[in-house]
A and B are shown apart, each in its own frame.
Chain A
Amino acid sequence: MIQKEAERIFETRELNVNMGPQHPATHGVLRLVLDIDGETIVKVTPYVGYLHRGIEKLGENLSYFQALPLTDRMDYVSAMSNNIGYCVAVEKLFGIDPPMRAKFIRTIVGEMSRIANHLLWLATHALDIGAMTVFLYCFREREWILDLFEMICGARLTVTYPRVGGVRNDVPQAFLDSLWKFTEEFPSRILEYETLIDQNRIWLQRTVGIGVISAEEAVNWGMTGPTLRGSGVPYDVRKHMPYDAYDQVEFDVPIGTAGDTYDRYRCRMLEMRQSNSIIRQCIEKLPPGPVMADDPKFVLPPKDKMLPITQPTDMAYFIIEKACKGCGMCLRACPAKAISGEKKKAHKIDQSQCLQCSTCFTTCKFKALTVVPGGKGLSDEKLAELAVAPDKLPDDIKEAQQNLTRQFDFIKKGPKVPEGEIYVATEVPKGELGFYFVSDGSGKPYRMRVRAPSFVHAGCLPRLCVGHLVADVIAAIGTIDIVLGECDR
């Protein structure tokens, strides 16, 4: 009675706090609207979309090859894994199989990326909970991995290293040596982090029993990756639907039991050790061989096979009048507008306007366009004398023309892709990253959709936070390991 009266007089209400999008602990631009009663969370509403860049829509306007760098910018913490996920999906759609060496290299860099991601996760998670030093120790090792990435592809964060059909380039020996040294030293470094937090009573008090989610519920929420495995569900795409070289290496899938923040932390720590061992196995087993699938339809042709045409600077392009049907292909393709001529009549190249870029050479279907080595600066009459039909050119030039044609077609139109739709999932450090493509047979996807683990996990935040204290929201955000670049896309 008195309490009711008191409630009437002193109207109490929950404090409504906006956490984010600018907040030190929301890992980017996550916005959580918290209703708090004292320090207890009553309600959490996550708002996402502050980092929306329309990556899925952009992907529909870019060819399958071009859209690859976009995936770097989804989960920029483990860009390599995202690249691999994209490439694996596109390869499935194309129906091509990368060579074994490429698969092993991808597995290596994928696991490196997993370690890098988990290191950053541990760093920020520990920093959020207040263990500042772990942050910098983790970055020390992450830096090593990023340097290794730089060694193979010239970029540290947004790597764009895997390609559809393989990887961009073979790995240098120095990379393998340095990486081996890393794998030898890394376990002791993990012990270092664990010295600081693993048994620390404060860390235990902050993580054990916080954000508990049962196995069943975790599955129902659509959790994947270590976030799910912390609850004891041994689901790992690498084990259940192996891609790349994961069927050729041995590794365990660490799982937790309690499904709390501490178990998820343990899972990720063990996973780093597993990744380390996977990398070691892959280095040991790394087979010799090609790193790109030799499939002319879907990969870029070798550059050195174009050199007979692209290297000399004295080439002249010439249209053989008799063979020209006046289709206008070259006319439309010429970037310099150096070709003139009416429809159905022989076209002509204005040599003073010509850039010698060989675009026309790759478009002519009627063997009318030919190349005259050493013909630059000569008059049309002289060229007509020297010109030979393209099928009578030397073999190396003919091969170069084929490759050049492939190069131009591939870049300007995109590869010809079978129609259909496909969903392919890969295990990125954050969980199951799925790519869904609808292909209408053109060079660009009709629809590209990404199943981002961060998005799904961000949705679980209210479930993990309600009833706990404000400080536990931070632990919950840390434990589900989200990156808003991926969540918002």
Chain B
Amino acid sequence: MKKKTILVLTVMILSSLFLFAQGGSEERLTEDGRQIVTYWYYHKGNEATIQENAIARFNASQDEYFVEGFSVPDKQKYLVAMASDESPDVIALTNAEVISYQTNGLLEDMSTMGEANGFDFSIYDKPAVTANSVDGRMYAYPLTSVVIQMFYNKDLLASIGETEPPTTMEELFEMAEKATTLDADGNIDILGYPLFPLASARQELIYAFGGRWAAEDGVTPTANCEGNIKSLEMNMAFREKYGVEKVQRFVATGNTNRYTPQDIFFAGKQLFRFDGPWFANNIKQYNPDINFGVAMVPGTEADPELLGVSRYENTSLAIPVVAKEKDGAYAFISWFVTEGAKDFLLEIGSLPANNTLYDDPDLLASNEAFPSFMEALKTGNGIEAPRMDYSAEYISMVDEYLDYIYNGTMGIEDALNELQAQAEAMAD
């Protein structure tokens, strides 16, 4: 091949690679000169439309920035984009992801940015701050909250001679035993104890007994603490009474049919259900005839102040460290979690993270479960997920060991001690 041909080809390839590499670095402006800020959210379908509505409201209020929203349900793309110099300026993610991302140093320090811009941090209660903080610094501003409370079937409750929902786990257990019925084959027909959804078995059922997977500092594992053992003893007492496999079969069916017309609660086969505020809308959609009530998750006789205890989670907004338009990103986020929050929450039907909205009459009227859920938020009994740098692996291990316990493969204390030892080894 002639040297000249080789030279031309080489120059062409190198030029195209150079241009490709340079592609992401240019400043982007709208025709009217506004700085373009890119915002990636994981919502899709109707929720993506609601995100776009919020973005439109922000853009209408602005002459400096213009936000372009993108629905990116696959969050791996967040990481790939951040690694390839094509990072969005704002990302929506869960508070657990905030911790996971920041333990790898991927996010901007929002405490510092907020202090520099005079942000009023008092709009957030302690759980909201802690859930989005690493080493005492916030790396995202939470927009929505998720807490779980107790739905109950009033007719089933009446059938066992009760009129009021339980306020302690001991009362709940007693009612659950009375309400649980079996069919002719000995299979569970109505489930009294709230063993389903599965996530509650790791969280609310544990927290209600004062159990925790991490200490107050969020990073010290406490897998074998007394509260965890007490809770699991009660859970296992129920499972063993009706047969571990029978309970598991019922739970499996509940899980496969969750939020469908065959959901065990909608079918009138579940007395107590720990679920989110959206569940009230699901009931109306699938079986409006279900006579249900909402109450706070019970505490225990020993710790009645645990009433309303629940996991505390957020959808939060963060700025990747590799974002290019950080000022615009901050302007959008600080608007979204304050002025822009209420309209968004009304549309999407979520609870606020911003405590100034807890008593908002429009929000309270928007969902019949909200008053109980807002009361739960006010108790401050929200429990944030563990925040150690190996928390994703730790939670996965917790779930695995809960399986060993619930399936009867391991005893409660043996399993929790082994889990604790493994967590401590990971910490080292």
Q: Do A and B bind each other?
A: no
